[in-house]
Amino acid sequence: MPAHSDQRKLIAECDPYALRRRALETKLLPHEIGRVLFHLNQRRGFKSNRKAERQEGDESGKIAMGAERLDAAIEKIEARTLGEFLAMRLNEGKAARVRMDLESQEYDFYPQRDHVEAEFNAIWIAQARYHPHLLTNTARAALHRILFHQRRLREQPVGFCTFITSERRLPKAHPLFQDLRLYEEVNSP
């Protein structure tokens, strides 16, 4: 961001969706590129951490269906990136944010991390022609890691046993705990 506060305000007031669209075709100022990258970081898209989804490959959820609708909509209007698609929606008077239809309980569209990552790559390639000294491979690798790193989920600690205070309880997902729950349910009055 610029050092002077008035210049920072001017950059912050720029429409980030219009900048994301312009970044594919025309030269942006370095501060405008920073605004685009900051906006991508703020709205970097969904990426699931769930192991079950990765193993099964189940693509029938609301988010997955919204992502498919987004891909179809982007292809239909021939937008090159998610940012260009959203800028076109704003020009038509539609919202750029994800909204769920309350009646059908489905998303109109749902951006995922892949959409934002593809846009990052497209913008980087387009702007690297104009700023080769600024947009180096080293800077790209560092910014890509910062923007798209998905930290691993930490395992939640299990509390201590009520009766043997030196030992930890079994996690609720453990088969022995499940057996105990079944026996308690069956034997309760």
**How far is C-alpha 178 from the chain's CA centre?**
35
Distance CA 79, CA 61 (A): 25
Residue 13 confidence class, pLDDT cut points 50, 70, 90: confident
46: β partners = 112
Q: How confident is the model at residue 50 (pLDDT cuts 50, 70, 90)?
A: low
Q: What is the average per-residue pLDDT within 132-143?
A: 94
Residue 103 has pLDDT above 80, yes or no: no
Q: Are 147 and 44 in contact (CB under 8 A)?
A: yes
The whole-chain average pLDDT of the chain stands at 86
Q: Residue 177: which residues within 8 A CB-CB, separation 6 or more?
A: 170, 171
Q: Given this model, what pLDDT does residue 121 score? A: 95
Share of the chain above pLDDT 70, in %: 93
Confidence band of 56 (pLDDT split at 50, 70, 90):
low
* Token pair for 164: 């043997």
Rounded to an integer, the average pLDDT of 146-151 is: 84
CA gap 183, 178 in Å, rounded: 9
Residue pair 112/46 in contact (Cβ under 8 Å)? The answer is: yes
How confident is residue 55, by pLDDT bands cut at 50, 70 and 90?
very low
